[in-house]
Amino acid sequence: MPTIHESSGLTWLAFALMTVVAWGLYGILLHTGQVGMADPVHGRYKAFLFVGLAYFLTAVLAPAAVLALRGASWSFPIAGLSWSLLAGLAGAAGAFCVLLAFGAKGSPATVMTIVFAGAPVINANVALLLHPPQGGLKSIPLPFFVGILLAITGAALVTTYKPKPVAASHAPQPVPEAGAHVDE
């Protein structure tokens, strides 16, 4: 049976799409958790504490178990360790900044649209700096630049024209439990 790394076809696409779903849910779930903490001052930090716990379970225990089960070497070259730690810091800082954006009155729909449209633009440009294309920057095809422009334009359009949420006074009211007395 081939391992994930040896599989052919579109396995990579399935994992990429699972990431899209997971990260697409991240902002709204985090905001809902923040509100669910019922602490307008510290709720976002309490929610992020549990995000950290989830990261520990997912990003520390799971890979450690996979490495142990596969008998992997526990050697970590400094270059790989350094870049990976920097990646983790960037990811955690980004997640924390999402929370700070929510706390500064950014809505999940707006914040996450900007994040998920802007992140590929940053990624593409930094990748070009770290791994320049053969033939230099002049060898980059025009559709690449059009794609960056479309990502930025798409974020602006989604942010500007997002649907308005239901006003609090018009929000659906909870249904009382059976047999409960309702005052009017």
Q: What local confidence, expressed as pLDDT, does residue 150 receive? A: 92
Could you give the CA distance from residue 163 to residue 145 in angstroms, rounded to a whole number? 29
Asked if residues 162 and 109 have their Cβ atoms less than 8 Å apart, the reply is: yes
Q: Which residue, 47, 158, 157, 148, is CA-closest to 109?
A: 158
Handedness of CA 137, 139, 145, 147 (dihedral sign): negative
Q: Check whether 182 has a pLDDT greater than 80.
A: no
Structure tokens given for 168: 């609090």
**Domain segments of the chain: what residues?**
13-65+86-105, 107-161
- Is 98 in contact with 112 (CB distance < 8 Å)? yes
- pLDDT score for 181: 52
Does this model's pTM top 0.85? no
Q: Sorting pLDDT into bands at 50, 70 and 90, what band is 70?
A: very high
From residue 181, give the alpha-carbon distance in Å to each of 98, 134, 140, 173: 41, 74, 69, 15
- Region 165-182 average pLDDT: 57
pLDDT at 103: 86
Helix residue ranges, H only, the chain:
11-36, 43-56, 62-69, 78-103, 108-130, 142-160
